[in-house]
Structure 1
Amino acid sequence: MSTISLPLFPLSTVLFPDGVLPLQVFEARYLDMVSRCLTDDTPFGVVLLTQGHEVRQPDGEPERFAAAGTIASVTELTTTTPGVLQVLCRGGARFSVVTAEQRVNGLWMAEAELVEGDQAVRVPSELQGASDALDRVLSSLHDVPQHRWPVQPPFRLDDCGWVSNRWCELLPLPNQQKHHMMLLDNPVIRLELLHDVLDEHGLITS
């Protein structure tokens, strides 16, 4: 399988395909990365930070991150303070890191293999409660400006992968558990696991 070159942004969060990720960018290495991505119309990769800090610390622990992540594309960018960018990103395909090397400026560059996306599978009747619960959450946002919604359209409430990914983002699950969910290649199993979590918290009413 062919590889792609990808700058990496290790974060203490997990980005899912079609997910929305707001970022405040101020480190020089990432300001340069975002600028290049916009100029070249290319994405970057978000990976889960497993050691170290999002912002480099003097004499801090070296950065370590998961060997898989999600491609992110910049969809909006604003500057409210000199040297600080407010960036809105959208999740794309998942990828696995083949090799990674840190440049002198601290930016990680990776050779990565894209992972096949979820197959489109309709939500089965026994898991419909998870979709209905998500629909209720989305309906409750009508008084909130759309650009602030944690889930952005198009909504695919009949699709196992889309529904399960949105619940992974919304539920307060540990990052390692979210990362495990992101790696699952069967969207039905992912939704089954999340349906159980929702049921335990009394969020399944049908």
Structure 2
Amino acid sequence: MLTQEMALITRDELLLPDGRIEIRVAGPSSLKLIAEVLKGHFPLAFAMSRPQANPPCYPLATQCEIIDFNQLEDDCLGLVLEGKQRVKIFSAAKRRDGNWIARTLSCNNWREEPIKGEFELISAALEQFYLVNPALQELYADLHLEDATWVSQRWLEVLPLYNRDKQVLVNQPDCHKTMDFVLELIKSHAGQ
């Protein structure tokens, strides 16, 4: 069992493998952590926050890479992160500067699989969602609407669910329960 130390960023959002998210980083200690990541001192893990917990996040996180950055109007740093690999957080320590370093173990990503049958509705709905939310679509060069795993993970990232409910789906061995959940959600709203 080979564990790895990673710099930890927590937010209320979810980032999964092949997903992209734009975040805002402010303050000297957070900027220092990003500098350490960019210098190769630590890989970066992104996790959903969990208030009043230690570490301050759910145990399943995503190792990610910084694929773009820019200075925002308020002098904060805007980062675009791309999820790469699911990781489990075993422990984390808060440094004196307030940043967290987590001890992680790589987990299996969900395997790619084609979307078939009635589940094509989920793919079409995601395509429509991105048309209505162009800022999210702009994060991606390509939409992999033919891949059930890619589509279901993007839905998990954008659906307005409680973090603990998203974690139930994220912790499944594959995308099937998420596909069923999203399909039922779409069908129930189509009937209204």
| TM-score interval (norm. to shorter) | 0.7 to 0.9
CA deviation digits over 1:106-154, x for unaligned, max 9? 111111011111112111213121112223334556xx4xx65365132
Alignment partner for residue 177 of structure 1, among 159, 162, 165? 165
Residue correspondence of structure 1 range 20-169 to structure 2 within 5 A: 20-40=20-40, 43-52=43-52, 64-81=56-73, 84-139=76-131, 144=134, 149=137, 152-169=140-157
> Segments of 4+ in structure 1 off by > 4 A?
none
Determine helix, strand or coil for the equivalent of 1:16: coil
The 1:150/1:194 distance shift into structure 2, 3 A limit, reads farther
Closer/same/farther in 2, CA of residues 132 and 113 from structure 1, 3 Å limit: same
Paired with 1:62 and 1:98, the residues of 2 have a C-alpha distance of 11
State the one-letter code of the partner of 2:34. V
**Unmatched segments (≥5 aa) in structure 1:** 53-60
How far apart are residue 188 of structure 1 and its match?
2.1
Count residues with an aligned counterpart: 191
Structure 1 residues 185 and 138: alpha-carbon distance in aligned structure 2, compared to 1, 3 A threshold: same
Q: What code does the residue aligned with 1:85 have? A: L
- For each residue in 1:38-82, what CA deviation from the matched residue of structure 2 results, as whole angstroms up to 9, or x when unmatched? 122853111221115xxxxxxxx9763211211121111112357
Distance 2:136 2:113 in 1: 28
Query: 2:103 & 2:48 partners in 1: Cα distance?
Result: 17
The answer to whether the 8 A contact 1:8-1:110 is kept is: yes
Q: What is the TM-score of this pair, normalised by structure 2? A: 0.87
Task: Look up the SS of the partner of 1:10 in the other structure.
Answer: strand
Q: Percent identity?
A: 20
| Residues in 1 aligned to 2:137 and 2:99: alpha-carbon distance in whole angstroms | 30
Q: TM-score, normalised by structure 1?
A: 0.82
- Paired AA for residue 25 in structure 1: V
Alpha-carbon separation, structure 2, partners of 1:128 and 1:81 = 41
What are the residue-to-residue correspondences of 1:166-205 with 2, within 5 Å?
166-202=154-190
